Amino acid sequence: MAVELRVVMAQLDFLVGDIAGNAELVIEAIESAQREHHADVIVFPELTLTGYPPEDLLLRASLKTRIEKALHKIKGNVGDLYVVLGYPAQQQDKQGNPLLYNMAGVIHRGELIAEYAKQCLPNYQVFDEKRYFRAGSQSCVVQFKGVPAGLTICEDLWEEHPAANAREAGAGFLINLNASPFHKDKLTLRRQLVSKRATATELPVIYVNLIGGQDELVFDGGSMAADRQGDLRVLAPTFEAGLCPVDLRWDAQQRTCKVLTDSIATERSMKESVYRALVLGVRDYVNKNGFPGVVLGLSGGIDSALTLAIAVDALGKERVEAVMMPFRYTAQMSIEDAREQAETLGIDFRIISIEQIYEAFMQGLQDAFAGLETDVTEQNIQARCRGVLLMAISNKKGSLVLTTGNKSEMAVGYSTLYGDMAGGFDVLKDVPKMLVYELARYRNSLSRVIPERVITRAPSAELAPDQKDEDNLPPYEILDQILELYVEQDMSAHAIIDRGFDGEAVHKVIRLVDINEYKRRQAPVGVRITERGFGKDRRYPITSGWEAGE
């Protein structure tokens, strides 16, 4: 006897902490899955009700009550559908002590019919689950219209035993609830993982991932289903919320499950994926935090040009304002290119000179600076004049200031505290300089919004006469490679030099990275697109005697 089952993957964007609102989104998806897809089962991502990652909200005393209230409301809207969703669940041990679990629950006909506690708790990179949760130890196999499904949650799929134990417990296919954040090439890793686990267990795997931006993290979706041979049969579009159905056929006599659906979304290139991640990160950060719009300094350089393009794509031209703040060292071409891009994108644009503001600062500091030579201090004052202007506009209009520093600059401290670092969100914080150029050209391939001269001219902060970035730094082609090896791969100076890089340059770069930790601690949050961003990924002391040579 064969049973056919339609499972809908709910790839949706939830707001961390908005438990009541997330429950409403679940109920809306349930209704759509029944009405539009005639679903038998709907599967939501990991920690659906709290959003991911909820961090120390999990420690709040009212969490248990809020989750129970949300589950009660969902139970009243389920009907004959099976609903699988994630939430934190508090239970007591034998001594009566409360324990918190990362749970997947199954609701059917108004009742919670099964619960599964996540067994493998990640505690690396951006993950910190052992701070909050107790690991589960038991498999859970649920019957959906007579079809046995084994439940797993995210990291459980990266280890062998949860899936293997679910098979031993009688599962005919596996469901995996996820909150897997984006980084370059992450989708390829997930595909390999799902295929590996399906092949090892000889069970189809349905993998449902979260979508949306949450502070520095972006969740890109890409929910998928693989057959028992490990071949991908269903892939939902990345960076797009929606409901994606998967049809299964269960042969009870042979105890085998077959994926009937063939629906593979077109995979995006690395550059398109990164660009979409940045757009989604900006959109959700601005909208979820309730900002009416954004404002940024448009210098005529590549970083601010790309940031502006991303902001307009994320929010629309009506919600974006740019300010060009020239000084005596600002090239005329910078003013022209900034104006051209602003006009092309149709945004609110103005020019405010910082000459008089700078002179007022210098007049006020005249006695304090008496007898001292001109140095980088005067350059930093220029940057801080601009920061004051942008923050004033932000205060007056309620707009979020977008800063424009890239990962290469943030790594070596090529930025000014309370100057170009002043703001609420750094779009390019995890984007190396050479990738900035690639993304600019990618965006122009869609429609030309960044003047070509901005991309081809030598980068300069324009804080001193004839200044170029490479006066103080190695060429970005070299700098980015050294930074990747040191920051993202944790290689020592000696190991990097053994790769063929100049020893003096390597030691200089590493020293700059190490001594500028204090700046990065005060930097705005920004979208993470690599496996080691400057945020939760990389936690180094400010005060340290560590030598990076070995």
Active site residues: 46, 118, 154
Helices (H), 169-230: 186-201
Q: What is the torsion angle, in degrees rounded to the nearest 10, for the CA atoms of residue 265, residue 267, residue 271 and residue 276?
A: 20
At position 229, the amino acid (one-letter code) is Q
Residue among 241, 220, 231, 239 nearest 264 (CA): 231
Helices (H), 421-485: 433-446, 452-456, 476-483
* CA end-to-end span of the chain: 65
CA distance 84 to 71: 12
Contact in structure between 388 and 421 (CB atoms under 8 Å): no
What Rg value do the Cα atoms of the chain yield, rounded? 26
> Maximum Cα–Cα distance for the chain, whole Å?
94
**All residues at 6 or more sequence positions from 494 whose CB lies less than 8 Å from its CB, including other chains:** 549, 550
Show the tokens assigned to 369. 């600076």
Residue among 440, 461, 522 nearest 325 (CA): 461
Pairing of strands 41-43, 82-92: parallel
Look up tokens 């700098």; give the residue.
479
Look up tokens 């520093």; give the residue.
405
Residue ranges with strand state E in 459-538: none
Show the tokens assigned to 95. 């001594």
Pairing of strands 217-220, 82-92: unpaired
**Torsional class of 272: left (φ above 0), alpha (ψ -120 to 50), beta (otherwise):** alpha
Show the tokens assigned to 443. 């965006």
CA angle 427, 271, 341 (to 5 degrees): 55
Q: Exposed, middle or buried, 365 (CB in 10 Å: 0-12/13-18/19+)?
A: middle
Sheet arrangement for strand 425-426: 348-351, 320-324, 294-297, 400-403, 425-426
